[in-house]
Amino acid sequence: MILRAHVIVPVTEDPIEGGEIFIKNGRIEAIGEDLSASLPDEPVEDLGHAAILPGLVNAHTHLDYTVLRGMVDDEPFMPWIRRLTDIGKEMQQEDFLASARLGLLQLVRSGVTAIGDSTFSGAVVEAAREAGLRGIVYQETFGADPTQDYKDQVDLLAEKVTELRGNSGDRITIGVSPHSVYTSSERLLRLVADLALDQGLPVALHVSETRDEVVLIESAEGHIADFYKLFRFDFEARGMSPVAYLHDIGLLNSNTLAAHCVHINDNDLDMLAASGTRVAHCPKSNAKLAVGTAPLESIIERGILTGIGTDSAASNNALDMFEEMRFAVLAQRAINEDVNALNAKQILELATLGGAAALGMDSEIGSLEPGKQADIIAVDLSSPAVFPTIDPYSALVYCCSACDVMMNMIGGEIIYRSGQYFKVDADEINRQASLTAAKIAPVG
């Protein structure tokens, strides 16, 4: 199969106007101009005034909570997370599955081909396999009580990993996620670090997302400390940042994805860079929860492998990676008061190849190169909101939205095209999600 479009954006090379891409056995065979002339027997499809580019990589999300969209808006971080937890306690496994399927429906529609998802229920594994996506699903574990041993809990986590691997198919890798330093005791963090090292598991966790988290680890004070005093948890002040604390525990390495990294200093940046830890930047979620904006420009300058994530629909209602890219650029320019802080080309790279690298998958996906998986999307550039297309990077980042995605292909298989899903029943997913939302929606 040969696809032709107004422009091909390989990411690792300059855009190719009027380019063609040859796909064979699920992989990219060749990219260039007029490939069809030398391959007369190959069917050619011209997508018109569109851009062909690598599938987007949502490096950090929580699809378990998609049905909570709009249920906990406009709350400060700690009240928000407490209400979210309370609502989540009302959800059964079938509710989490309905929620994950709904989230994946939106991601597929919006051009996402790979995810880094942290899940409480594990339901995302089944939903992602059904939808045909690629990525890593990290099974979460929680436990902040410093008096508990947690060995049995981590043994159960290892069993859950084995169970999820049996249900993951060949596109999903299973990892683990000790949620954060404020929801995981040192004992639990060390046990998960040992498990990950022993089994070669990728790790994801939330790092320095809020100032309260930093104050908790540094001095055992602040809102989080006050909340845990209600449970008589006696947090020990560490006199260091969350990043330094995780470094001492042994959780900073090239197998770890640190989500958010909003409140980090130069020493933290040095440790992240030296350890090879990857970062997932979630600008819209951080802004909506009013926790700040990560120093993305500095993170990039240190050479830290970085991807873009939407976080969950409970904190970022849209789950639109085009919105995420656009907001990321504008936020960095605003806080740095510098038009050169970030540009469209850089952010598109983070949303594709950067995300793939953050998940350790950049040898297979993230750019359009011969030999890589044919994880490809086509984006319509002909609408009045986008046309004319002077610069494809500018058009894709500053003008386009999920609604402009014409086609989503993973491994050479078209899973979405022009409103039609080919692997899942969208109407049934929406129906089940509506029932779940009605069941758990808070009253009043």
For the segment 23-60, what is each residue's pLDDT rounded down to a tens digit?
999 999 999 998 998 898 899 999 999 999 999 999 99
Q: Which residue has the tokens 């599955």?
A: 97
Per-residue pLDDT at 84: 87
> What whole-number distance in Å separates Cα of residue 55 and Cα of residue 377?
5
**Range 204-211 average pLDDT:** 98
Q: Which two tokens stand for residue 146?
A: 């410093």
pLDDT of residue 441: 80
| 67-71, 263-267, 405-409: least confident range | 67-71
Burial class (CB in 10 A: 0-12, 13-18, 19+), 205: buried
Q: What percent of the chain has pLDDT over 70?
A: 99
CB 60 within 8 Å of CB 47: no
Q: How far is CA 239 from CA 236, 270, 360, in A?
A: 9, 18, 32
Query: Which of 59-68, 219-228, 435-444 shows the highest mean pLDDT?
Result: 59-68
* Calpha distance 408→419 (Å, rounded): 11
Among 170, 160, 169, 171, smallest CA distance to 195 is for: 160
Tokens 């979630």, residue?
282
Paired with 69 in beta bridges are none
- Average pLDDT of span 172-194: 97
What's the CA gap between 165 and 194, in Å, rounded? Answer: 19
Q: Is the pLDDT of residue 444 over 50?
A: no
Pair 421, 107: CB distance under 8 Å? no
Give the tokens for residue 168: 């993951």
Q: Give the model's pLDDT for residue 99.
A: 97
22 contacts 39 by C-beta, under 8 angstroms: yes
Instruction: Give the up-direction half-sphere exposure of residue 298: CA atoms within 13 A in the CB hemisphere.
Output: 16
Q: Are strands 376-380 and 405-410 parallel, antiparallel or unpaired?
A: antiparallel
User: Residue 169 phi/psi, 5° resolution?
Assistant: 75, -165
The DSSP bridge partners found for residue 57 are 114
- Residue 311 identity: D
Provide the pLDDT confidence category of residue 235 given band limits of 50, 70 and 90: confident
Residues 6+ apart with CB under 8 A from 62: 117, 118, 119, 311, 312, 314
Beta strands in 120-248 (DSSP E): 134-141, 172-178, 203-207
- Cross-strand bridge partners of residue 282: none
Amino acid at 145: D
Task: Read off φ and ψ for residue 415, nearest 5 degrees.
Answer: -105, -15
* Among 170-174, 205-209, 230-234, 257-261, the least confident range: 230-234
Q: Assess whether pLDDT exceeds 70 at residue 269.
A: yes
Q: What is the pLDDT of residue 211?
A: 96
Q: pTM for the complete prediction?
A: 0.97
Q: State yes or no: pLDDT of 241 exceeds 90.
A: yes
Mean pLDDT over each residue of the chain, to the nearest integer: 95
Mean per-residue pLDDT for 399-422?
Answer: 97
- Of 268 and 37, the structure prediction assigns the larger pLDDT to 268
pLDDT in tens, 323-348: 999 999 999 999 999 999 999 999 99
Residues 155-184: b if buried by 16+ CB within 10 A, e if exposed: eebbebbeebeeebeebbbbbbbbbbbbbb
CA 364, chain centre distance (Å): 17
**Burial category of 311 from C-beta neighbours within 10 Å (exposed 0-12, middle 13-18, buried 19 and up):** buried
Q: What is the pLDDT of residue 230?
A: 79
Which of 83, 61, 62, 64 lies closest to 74, judged by CA? 83
pLDDT for 101 equals: 98
